[in-house]
Structure 1
Amino acid sequence: MKREIIYAPLGTKRHNHELQLSKAHNCGTIPSRIQTVLLTLYLIGNIVFCLLLDFKQESLAMLAELRGRTGILAVANLLPLVVMAGRNNPLIGLLKISFDTFNLFHRWVGRLVVCESVIHVLAWFAAYKQSMGTAAASRSFVNDPFLCWGLTGSVCMAVMAIQSVSPLRHAFYETFLQVHQILAAVGLLAVYVHLDIPKLPALPLIRIALCLWLAERLLRFARIIYLNHSRQSGSTKLIVTALPGEASQLSFRLPRHVNIAPGSHVYVYLPKLALWQSHPFSVAWTSTASEPSFGVDIEPKTPGTAERQQSIHPRGFPASRTPTRLSLICAARTGMTRKLYDIARASPSGSVEMAGFVEGPYGGHESLASYGTVFLFAGGAGITHHLVQIRHLLASAHDQMVATRKIVLVWTVREAEAFNWVRDWMEEILKMPGRREVLKVYVYVTRPRKLEGFISAGQRMQLIPGRCCPGSVLDQELPHRIGATMVSVCGPGGFADEVRAAVRARIHLATLDMTEESFTW
């Protein structure tokens, strides 16, 4: 079941490796096999409901029935569409399904809603044209608010479908996001007025959809205000530091204490660069007081980390109320991430303080505490998803509070200078009690150049020039596993697909589970 359905890609291997028309045109990812099965069943259910018509009746009556069925289905599907688009979706925590998966279903259900809306309009137009003529059908919109609002809602959804086409969405993502949210608000309101005028049976459904959409937005706004402002400590402070290897470190000092579970991510708002936009980042490091208590003192010991945290952390707070500090790593690519890196690099000190806010934390539902052996695969900046997990598992294993007895971290980077992104944090991890008995670290450098000084004295990590072969790592370490095994991966889509293929090929060798952290869009 795991090998052929749950963990299987739709085809042979490709799942999160994005389809590229060219370097500038991205066609998105392919659903997995289980996702395709669920989406297909959902689609079949909608088609069957639409086509359960009495084909023996006259055409006008049949068109009216088709119009009613597609209209009700389009409105009913708005409920899961709105829920799955929300970051505060309660089903994420209840079902332990990632936001990324719900976002994929959101896109496909949205396409279904658009198709049903178009059929709804065409069925009405065909019936009206047949009974009153083409000219009368066109004039009917002039003085009829009911039809005008319905057409407005359908047009908004159709435009959303066009701008959501993957190459357009990826090429102009920041513009897409703003326009998409405006059209969604206008479309929902238009459908509500369309149903409210004649008090149609689907009116309660659109009311629920509007309430869910508004509640999610208000909750996000409330979380941002609560997390980033305090009467006692003021507002969130952010320091952006340019790092070697074209990356930025974002160090946040929040004005209040917040618990952040290992494996969490946050959304970052940078008003100077994008007023309304937010971008997701894995939490690379936190102050230890922000984690669930596990009884081991692992406060920062390396000068670099201590100095950076000292600069944004006020003293004098009780341990339970210490304002949370968290750090993120942002690889400079295009758009906001590139602008952020350029601003920090242009500063004489290589760092700059700017206004910034965080929303979250989200995620962190996948607990690794019950697994005796944990493999953590990371590609590039994907290492940030694993660092707090490692710290938490090592400290808890030392206190014998988790089942974990073996951790294997496999990190693949293009150039060795990427290690500077996490050097101080890795030094702290490597100095933790019991680390030598539990943790192994393999670092693969695909473009090895200057490797001297890459690792501090002690040879506590293995540096391997060349590409990582996940299957070889599993073949080497699985025979020495302890208990049930979890494989977690965070990195580029192609690398994640390699890990997935390696796990599927060896899933019969052990009690083997897999989880993947991704932010596909």
Structure 2
Amino acid sequence: MEWTCSHQYPHDMSSTMMVPSATMPVTMAQATPKTPAELARHRQIILLMLGDAFLWYGLFYVAILMLVFHGVSSGRRYLRHRATIAETAPENHQRWMSAIPGTPLLKKHLLYAPFWARKRAEKSGWFGSLPTRMQTLVIIIYVACNVGYISHLDWAHIETRTARMQLLGRSGCAMTANFIPLILLTTRNNPLEPILSIGHDTHVLMHRWVGRLILLNLLVHVGCWTVGHVTDEGWHGAMGLILSVPFLGAGFIGFTTGVVLFLTSLQVIRRWKYEVFLNLHIVLGVGFLLAGAAHCYFHPPPMPQLWFIVAALAVFVVERICRYLRQLYCSWSFSAGASTAIVEALPGTTKACKITMQLRQHMRLRPGTHAYIRLEAVEPWASHPFSIAWVTPSVPDPLDPEKHDDDPKATTAVSFIIGVENGFTRKLYAKANASPDAQFTTRGSFEGPYGGHHSLASYGHVVLFAGATGICHQLRYVQALVQGQRTGAVSAQRVVLVWIIRECHALYWVRSWIHSLNCPPGFLEIKVFVTRDRVVPQGMWINHDLPRFVTVMSGRPGVDVLVDTEVQEQVGAMCVGVCGPGALADDVRAAVREAQGTGREIDFVEESFGW
């Protein structure tokens, strides 16, 4: 039986795609290998097909499983929303309070459970936040598919040199194939986010683990080549080949770039100077892809893995173009020009800024979204992500509030609360604090919205936890739920917001917004815990101008007690959300996992920026 190769690689049988020749007979008797050489070649084809099955079919079935799980969850939320929307009688919600048998245990021990003990969101060690058990399972399956593809060789019938060359080829193929998900997972316009309702934080986590897997493939790839050539020609001969052969020189540049890329992405570097890390990460990442493309192109003949890299670069370029088009649409109009932003330094020792941007378009912004903003007066070359705290659409005609949906002159005011850290936020606060009246106006751009895939409209009972500036994410949900309650668009019967702040002056951040919340008694309750100020300072507005649904207390809250209290008074399905420091998120997660023992429908949503 004759065979031809669609691609030929030196010393690499695993990268050779065997296909029947055009003149090959097709009868079963002639297709049966008979000689030892044909048996060995036939065995190699089978192993190559099994390796492909490990990588591609394994990932395909994981994706299908995730889609089915998401479809079932979304379908149940939709049916619950349709059945309970605008229902005010608590008994109409009670039949949705009981969870599907088995799901509470699944949530407690797999979906919501941290990988180890109770720490997940709180940063730890060199690698940042840890995955949940469900995320760990996906990572293990993904790594197993790659390892199965690389290592599924006929170890009993091949020589060591042949095995080394096959490992070299397969590790290189697996590495380039992983470039596409590596780039896709870190893009802002990732199509997987709305399809699977998975937050950007989870995609960034997976991006890091795919990057570590690529590094492992890179080390195997370079190690196999180095061992073979150093054994035959010594270190001097191997370095001579690298310096004289463009194919190998590009590979060496790519290897060096990849190692530096990994070292500069560690948690200690990200926390030290995030802007430096981000810019360096992009430059080194593009350099790594270009070096890999040159490595594949200069190989005689060019390797087909080059198209994996071209596809990854195309995703990177197209997504960048989409960013700028989105930014241009939101922030520019021919009649009014660029959007403007008012930056105000807020009072108190907890330094924070308030930014109000006047967009040039009317936009329907879902709750729980964030956006990237760029300000002309402070680092105009960089955009930074912040959660949207409040949305105020303009109404050109007060007699016709719905007219602004189609009115070309309608705009939208979007507000952010930004805590002061290092870099951009510190420069922003310093400029605002030094300006007259502690505020200034500048031109800016708005890119978004992103996220907001977790809808709370179908829950009868919503409990939200916020720490410091995490109030932005949760307050936007409160605004949407209160508006939906008035229009009969949500199922919520009770909403509880727990906000933990250091000092009472932080209440100034949201004072006007809280007063604008118009809801019936018993629908909304806001509990504010002040950890630093043990007493409310005299003369503060909260002493005489506190809305009836707001309670201010001193000290740290007992998260488990608060969650348990709400579970005892649960109305229909419940959702508990958290946005704040990692320690707070871990406490809320632990309390929700403990509450799963009641057998009730209690979902958990965590929002964090995993950068």
Query: TM exceeds 0.5?
Result: yes
Matching of residue 476 in structure 1 with residue 565 in structure 2: yes
- In structure 1, the residue matched to 2:146 is 46
Question: Is contact 2:182–2:211 with CA below 8 Å preserved after alignment?
Answer: yes
Question: Is contact 2:229–2:238 with CA below 8 Å preserved after alignment?
Answer: yes
- Picking from 499, 502, 505, the partner of 2:591 is 502
- In structure 1, the residue matched to 2:436 is 348
- Picking from 217, 238, 259, the partner of 2:320 is 217
Change (3 A) 1:158 1:482: same
- Picking from 103, 110, 114, the partner of 1:5 is 110
Q: In structure 2, how many angstroms separate the alpha carbons of the residues matched to 1:122 and 1:457?
A: 67
Report the alpha carbon displacement of residue 317 of structure 1 after superposing the two structures with TM: 10
Q: In structure 1, how many angstroms separate the alpha carbons of the residues matched to 2:424 and 2:307?
A: 40
Question: Is contact 1:233–1:256 with CA below 8 Å preserved after alignment?
Answer: no
Q: In structure 1, how many angstroms separate the alpha carbons of the residues matched to 2:109 and 2:528?
A: 31
Question: Is contact 1:268–1:357 with CA below 8 Å preserved after alignment?
Answer: yes
- Picking from 125, 136, 143, the partner of 1:36 is 136
Question: Is contact 1:240–1:248 with CA below 8 Å preserved after alignment?
Answer: yes
Question: Is contact 2:362–2:393 with CA below 8 Å preserved after alignment?
Answer: no
Matching of residue 111 in structure 1 with residue 212 in structure 2: yes
- Picking from 247, 255, 263, the partner of 1:154 is 255
Matching of residue 445 in structure 1 with residue 548 in structure 2: no
Matching of residue 193 in structure 1 with residue 283 in structure 2: no
Within 5 Å, give how 1:61-460 maps onto structure 2. 61-197=162-298, 198-245=301-348, 246-288=351-393, 321-429=409-517, 432=518, 434-448=519-533, 449-451=535-537, 452-454=540-542, 456-457=545-546, 459-460=548-549
Report the alpha carbon displacement of residue 237 of structure 1 after superposing the two structures with TM: 0.6
Equivalent position SS for 2:345: strand
Report the alpha carbon displacement of residue 296 of structure 1 after superposing the two structures with TM: 12
Q: In structure 1, how many angstroms separate the alpha carbons of the residues matched to 2:245 and 2:445?
A: 46
What residue identity is the alignment partner of 1:287? Answer: T
Question: Is contact 1:114–1:154 with CA below 8 Å preserved after alignment?
Answer: no
Equivalent position SS for 1:72: helix
Q: In structure 2, how many angstroms separate the alpha carbons of the residues matched to 1:425 and 1:179?
A: 39
Question: Is contact 1:415–1:446 with CA below 8 Å preserved after alignment?
Answer: yes
Q: In structure 1, how many angstroms separate the alpha carbons of the residues matched to 2:345 and 2:493?
A: 36
Deviates further, 78-87 or 214-223: 214-223
Q: In structure 1, how many angstroms separate the alpha carbons of the residues matched to 2:204 and 2:232?
A: 42
- In structure 1, the residue matched to 2:11 is none
What fraction of aligned residue pairs are identical, expressed as a percent?
36
What residue identity is the alignment partner of 2:371? Answer: V
Q: In structure 1, how many angstroms separate the alpha carbons of the residues matched to 2:112 and 2:576?
A: 12
Question: Is contact 2:515–2:547 with CA below 8 Å preserved after alignment?
Answer: no
Q: 1:55-87 CA distances to partner (integer Å, 9 max, x unpaired)?
A: 342222121101001000100111110110101
Q: 1:166-190 CA distances to partner (integer Å, 9 max, x unpaired)?
A: 1122112111111110111111122
Q: In structure 2, how many angstroms separate the alpha carbons of the residues matched to 1:459 and 1:142?
A: 76
Equivalent position SS for 1:343: helix
Report the alpha carbon displacement of residue 48 of structure 1 after superposing the two structures with TM: 2.4
Report the alpha carbon displacement of residue 494 of structure 1 after superposing the two structures with TM: 0.6
What residue identity is the alignment partner of 1:443? Answer: V
Q: Where does structure 2 lack aligned partners over 5 or more consecutive residues?
A: 1-105
Deviates further, 276-285 or 499-508: 276-285
Question: Is contact 1:9–1:33 with CA below 8 Å preserved after alignment?
Answer: yes
Question: Is contact 1:394–1:435 with CA below 8 Å preserved after alignment?
Answer: no
Change (3 A) 1:276 1:110: farther
Report the alpha carbon displacement of residue 225 of structure 1 after superposing the two structures with TM: 2.0
- Picking from 574, 577, 587, the partner of 1:485 is 574
What residue identity is the alignment partner of 1:492? Answer: P
Report the alpha carbon displacement of residue 516 of structure 1 after superposing the two structures with TM: 0.7
Q: In structure 1, how many angstroms separate the alpha carbons of the residues matched to 2:119 and 2:400?
A: 42
Q: In structure 2, how many angstroms separate the alpha carbons of the residues matched to 1:177 and 1:272?
A: 21
Q: In structure 1, how many angstroms separate the alpha carbons of the residues matched to 2:186 and 2:242?
A: 32
- Picking from 503, 518, 521, the partner of 2:608 is 518
Report the alpha carbon displacement of residue 332 of structure 1 after superposing the two structures with TM: 1.1
Q: In structure 2, how many angstroms separate the alpha carbons of the residues matched to 1:79 and 1:125?
A: 27
Q: 1:256-313 CA distances to partner (integer Å, 9 max, x unpaired)?
A: 22221111100122354334432211101111469xxxx9979xxxxxxxxxxxxxxx
Change (3 A) 1:296 1:443: farther
Q: In structure 2, how many angstroms separate the alpha carbons of the residues matched to 1:409 and 1:319?
A: 35
Q: In structure 2, how many angstroms separate the alpha carbons of the residues matched to 1:467 and 1:120?
A: 53
Question: Is contact 1:296–1:395 with CA below 8 Å preserved after alignment?
Answer: no
Q: TM-score, normalised by structure 1?
A: 0.90
Q: In structure 1, how many angstroms separate the alpha carbons of the residues matched to 2:293 and 2:140?
A: 29
Q: 1:300-345 CA distances to partner (integer Å, 9 max, x unpaired)?
A: xxxxxxxxxxxxxxxx997574111101000112221111111111
Q: In structure 2, how many angstroms separate the alpha carbons of the residues matched to 1:275 and 1:120?
A: 41
Q: TM-score, normalised by structure 2?
A: 0.77
Change (3 A) 1:64 1:480: same
Question: Is contact 1:289–1:320 with CA below 8 Å preserved after alignment?
Answer: no
Q: 1:212-252 CA distances to partner (integer Å, 9 max, x unpaired)?
A: 11111111122122222211110011111000231100111
Q: In structure 1, how many angstroms separate the alpha carbons of the residues matched to 2:140 and 2:394?
A: 46
- In structure 2, the residue matched to 1:302 is none
Deviates further, 69-78 or 338-347: 338-347
What residue identity is the alignment partner of 2:112? Answer: Y
What residue identity is the alignment partner of 1:214? Answer: V
Report the alpha carbon displacement of residue 459 of structure 1 after superposing the two structures with TM: 3.6
